Amino acid sequence: MRLKILVVPFLLVMIVILSIGYIKPDFDTILAKKAEIVAQDELQAKADKVVSNVDVLNTALNQNQESEKFVLQYLPVALDQDQIVDAFNYLASQHGIIVTDMNMAKSSDPVVAPQTAPDGTLVETAQQASTFVFTGGVYGSYENIKAFFNRLTHIGRYQSIQLFSLQKDESNQNKSSDLKGTFVVDYGFLPLKNGVSALSKPIFQNSTLSFTDVADLKAKTTELPVLEKSASGRPNPFQ
């Protein structure tokens, strides 16, 4: 009799154990799906915020087109060597000195090691500017070369002076006061680059864009006139 009394609770316990055994895999799947949904919701919220910030930043650029134009000139997306050559020739003519030589060579691109976040995802790192080396030589008086160099270092272009030297030209005895100047300058540019994701770019995590630094930089640079390219040859070769 006692055995019969114990059988019923035992069966109930077994039913519960077996039921939990069948239900637990489904329950684990439900929890995993729920966590996935939460992660997707967070990603969606982050994406919506980035889209909103991009719209605000784009509006700020449209309202400050002069500053945007200056930045693209100061650090262009291409080499734009003509800008440097034109500036060099123009300033030399303005200060009465003679250009003796010019040479340009592209530097090796900077190597930026990839970084990963604690969760293993790739983090977008700040892009480094590429550069090309410009070497120029001029001939003239000390005062004129000094004034020329002062203006050259203030043109609206990202640059890093590597060498500036002055020496007497021993080959010219008639103008012993004139000097030969040599300039070696790195000029920068920032090529367009496809990012990993807009979500990983820190700039898009906020909706503010300050143009204070741009205004300060513009105040320290010398604006040069745009040199017009004259047409070569006759318009009509049969006339």
Range(s) of the domain holding residue 177: 68-219
To the nearest 10 degrees (0 to 180), the angle between helices 81-94 and 142-152 is 150
Q: Does 15 map to a domain? A: no
18 in a structural domain: no
Amino acid at 14: M
- Residue 8 is predicted with a pLDDT of 53
- Assigned domain for 61 exists: no
Residue 8 is assigned to a structural domain of this protein: no
Q: Specify the number of domains making up the chain.
A: 1
Per DSSP, helices labelled H in 101-220 are 142-152, 212-219
In a domain? residue 84: yes
CATH of the domain at 140: 3.30.70.60
Per-residue pLDDT reduced to its tens digit, 193-230: 776 677 777 777 888 888 888 889 888 888 877 655 55
pLDDT one-digit tens code per residue, 5-40: 555 555 555 555 555 555 556 666 777 777 888 888
Is 52 part of any domain?
A: no
Q: Does residue 83 contact residue 157 with C-beta atoms inside 8 Å? A: yes
Does 4 map to a domain?
no
Residues 84-100: tens digit of each pLDDT: 999 999 999 999 999 99
Q: How far is CA 140 from CA 90, 124, 172, in A?
A: 15, 49, 12
138 in Cβ contact with 145 (< 8 Å): yes
Q: Distance between CA atoms of 195 and 13, rounded to whole angstroms?
A: 58
Classify 234 as helix, strand or coil.
coil
Inform me whether the pLDDT recorded for 64 exceeds 70: yes
**What are the tens digits of pLDDT across the range 106-144?**
887 766 655 665 555 555 666 788 899 999 999 999 999
Strands 122-123 and 179-189: unpaired
Q: Is the pTM of this model over 0.75?
A: no
Is the residue at 157 inside a domain?
Answer: yes
